[in-house]
Structure formats: C-alpha cells, structure tokens
Amino acid sequence: MALPVPAVDSADVGLIGLAVMGQNLALNMADHGFKVAVYNRTTTVTEATLEAHPVSTYGEKGGFLIGAAELKDFVASIKRPRRIIILVKAGPGTDAVIDSLTPLVEAGDLIIDGGNAEWSDTVRRGKALHEKGILYIGSGVSGGEEGARFGPSLMPGGSKDAWPLLEPIWTAIAAKVDPETGKPLPGASAGKPDEGGVPCTTWIGAGGAGHYVKMVHNGIEYGDMQLIAEAYAFMRDSLRMNNVEIADVFTSWNTGELDSFLIQITADILKQKDPVTGKDFVDMVLDAAGQKGTGKWTINSSLDLGIPATVIAEAVFARQMSSAIEQRRFAAKILKVSAKDRNRPNKQHMGAWIAFVRDALYCSKICSYAQGFALMAAASHEYGWDLKLGEIASIFRGGCIIRARFLQKITEAYARRPELANLVLDEYFAEELFKRQSHWRTVVAHAAMTGIPVPAFAASLSWFDSYRSRQLPHNLLQAQRDYFGAHTYERIDAPRGKFFHLQWLTEGRPQTEIQ
C-alpha cells in the first residue's frame, strides 16, 4: 500500500521506530484514544504496520494510527506543541533521529527518547535541545513487548516543564496496580489495556534521572535473574531434582513472598518441551548468556559513586563467565572437586533443603535491591535529582520485568521512613534477614563445599556481613597503604577527617608519627 500524505495537525502524538516495542507502544496509545502518527526509516515497515493493524483493532476509544512516508510530513501531522516519541536503537541511531528532527520541530515541541539510552547521553541531548528551545525527556520503558502493548512501567526524566505534556499519555498507557495491595491489575494478561488502579509511572527527576533509574532497574534485573539461576542450579546439581520438580517448586514459591514475573516465567520455562527434540527445552539451550550493557553501566556508576553493588556485579561477571564455554569445558576436565566434597543432602530432608534455598533466594534478593536503591539514593544526592525512592518502588510493582509482590514491602518501607539509609535497616527486612539467615548461610556453605558456583548468593551474604560488621579488617589495609605509599590514616582516638602518617621504622631512622 502507498502511504498518502497525512493531514496537518491530525495526530495527538508521534512515534518513530516501528520495531516490536515501537509498534506495541503505538497500538497501546491508540487503544487509549490517541491518534498516533507513525514513521519508520524503511517505509515498507510503516506500510506493513498499518496493513496488519486496521482501525478495527484499536479499540472503541477513537484512537488510530496515521502513517507517513516522509519525516517532514510525519512532523507536520502532529498537533502543536508536538509530542514525538523515539524508539530506536540506543546510541548513534538516536542521535541521528534527533538531528533529523531538530530542523523540522519548533520551540516548545517535545522529544521523548524511550530507548535504553545511557543516562549521560540523555543529559547531553537534553542540554543541546534546551539551547534550541526544544523540550526533551528521556524515559525508561520496561516490560518488553507485552508491557509496551498492554501497560509498561514508565520512568520519565528531563525537562520538568515537559512533564505536563507527556503525563496524560504516560498515565493512560502505563500498567496499573491495585492501590491497596500493589498487585498488578490483570489487563495485560487478559489481552486488553489495564483500566483503573494506580499507574506505574511518575516524574523521576531532572536531566538523566529517568534513564538512570531504568539503568538501575536493569541492573537489579540482572541480579534477580542470576539469583534465580543459582537456586535452579542448586536444586538441579545438589538436590538432583529434575526440571518438572524444580518447576513445581518455583510455582509454589510464586504464591508466597517470592511472587514475581521472573519466578513465574522460570516455572513456565522449566515445563516447556523443545519442539525439535521433545526433550526439556531448558536442557537444549546453550549455557551462554548475552547482555546489552545496562548491567555494566550500573556497575560503572556504583564504582563512580562508591556504592558497592556486589550482587549486580557478580551477575554481570557470571554472564561473562558463561560465555567462556570452550575454556570452561576444557577446565572441567582438569580442575576437579574431590569426591569427599561432593556429598549430597539426604533425600529424606528434601523439603527442608528446598526451604533453605527459598530463604537464601529471598535474603539475597533483599540485599540486591538494597544495593540498587542505595545506588539510586547516592546518584540523587550527587546529581541533585531528589529521587523519591518509595515512588520508584511503587512504579516497579507492575508492567516491568522485576515486578513482584516484594516491591510492595519496599514501597511501605520508604513510606515509613523516606530518608531510610538502607533498605536492610527497615524493620520488616531486618526481621526477615534475621529469621532466614541460618538457611542462607547453610546453602552458601554447602555450595562452596560441593563446588557449585553461587556467586550472587555468596556476594549478597558477604555484603550483608560486611554491612553489619562493627569492625572490618581495613585498619590493617589502611596501615599497609600508609607503609608502602604514605597514603595516611585516621586514628580511633582522633576526630574523623584528621589524617596522620607514620614515619615507618627503617634502619638508621627513628619511628615518628606525622599529623
């Protein structure tokens, strides 16, 4: 089909980029009554989108899609002040789209980047567009293709003056949760938009705040997925459970405090049969995990801000290790675990061990989220964003990949104490860690003794023990630094911030302390 030139000012909002996420977000907006101009660099993609989704598929609220073959006609079709969403590959592709849009839009128009942009790029782009009078928002969009179609979690940040222009759209299309329980409403799973409830979007903050929070969300997602994988590995390799048995455990966990999207899909995956061989699907998948960089960005930021995000770091390193397949297969022939260390738990105690793994997963999850929220708090202070951590937790409750019952507890924790220094200090989480930690320690210890890698379980436990330690061995470490590099040290009998250097005793030189 050939695309006619759309009428001027005929669309409420525009969207550039008609890959899966773009198409689904456009249809979501149309379902909620918005007239959406759509454009793709390859015109045949735009044509195919309009053919596949005639007006009858958009719902009864009067929204529909308007296609344009030329970018200038696309821009002209959008009512002023224009709202234009970009959903293209992050990086140079986004810059190229913005550069082509800039001569066609006007002061007061709004450009929204809904891709997985690095937050510092969002800051740069926002400043450049601000100089031209163009409004700019970088918004995290989480939930995958189903979320985009029926209700994602949306994390907008950038020009505060732009939020009133975007808020009606983002509030309408976001996932919705029950205001009392925080549970996602069943719209997406029922194949229709969520109606009513609390929308999973809020204004995050200035500059790159929206994309920063989306980055940390993705880092937490890395941690969640690694922890679930370690629970699966422990049940498979130590408890010798088959995939159906493990799936049943995850299904039961999904009715309790571990209830989450990732736990649910894990159970589904473990029950899936391979359509080619008929074997269990998960056993046919190569154990090499990919990544797109947001986990690494999160680690880099944690290093810059001095916030230990050890679970996320180990999750990234574990993916990197998984990719070294040839080396691992060669090493498996050489680096053996002694037979006496391969003892398995007694089958008679299977139920108890499954409970141990559940508690190890829950405790580790608490610590992982505590690290992620501590990182957001530090970034808020460093960059002047004034992030509302309770609101951020609340918009993660629906639509996004890490949506979980657990997030209601985080929302409540920050409602009790908005300035909470760390999530593990909240009364609920402190009590849960106290009650479950012996099981957590048992799992980590047994995995170490039997050679089962659980880097994220172990990292979370070490972080917990470090955070709760009244004294760490870093008095010795700092003394070492002063010895070999004159890096100075603080004294326990002097005020913080007052530094000393010891003139270390060497042959022919007396030992003295220099302030």
For residue 306, how many other CB atoms are within 10 A of its CB? 9
Q: Are 167 and 412 in contact (CB under 8 A)?
A: no
Please list, in sequence order, all residues whose beta carbon lies within 8 angstroms of the beta carbon of residue 290, skipping any fewer than 6 positions away. 319
Q: Which residue has the tokens 């990292």?
A: 459
Q: Residue 354 and residue 345: Cα distance in Å, rounded?
A: 11
- Tokens read off for 353: 């061990």
Helix (H, G, I), strand (E, B) or coil at 15: strand
Q: Give me the catalytic one of 214, 296, 365, 409.
A: 214
Distance (Å) of CA 272 to CA 64, 485, 493: 37, 58, 63
Query: In the numeric block, which tokens belong to residue 227?
Result: 């922890």
Indicate which residue of 221, 230, 314, 432 is catalytic: 221
Per the CB < 8 A criterion, the answer to whether 53 and 59 are in contact is: no
Q: Where are the alpha helices (DSSP H) in 238-349?
A: 243-253, 261-271, 281-284, 294-305, 310-323, 325-334
Q: Rg of the chain's alpha carbons, rounded to an integer?
A: 26
Distance CA 389, CA 402 (A): 16
Residue 46, classed as helix, strand or coil, is helix
Q: Is 221 a catalytic residue?
A: yes
Residue 214 annotated among the catalytic residues of the structure: yes
3-state secondary structure of 40: coil
Among 96, 73, 81, 78, residue whose Cα is nearest residue 36: 78
| AA letter at 163 | W
Which distant-in-sequence residues (6+ apart) come within 8 Å of 56 by Cβ?
none
Measuring CA to CA, which residue among 230, 293, 138 is closest to residue 443?
A: 230
Residue 158: in which H helix or E strand, if any? strand 153-158
Write b or e for each residue in 90-121: b if 16 or more Cβ atoms lie within 10 A of its Cβ, otherwise e.
Answer: beeebeebbeebeeebeeebbbbbbbbbbbeb
Q: Which residues are the active-site residues? A: 214, 221
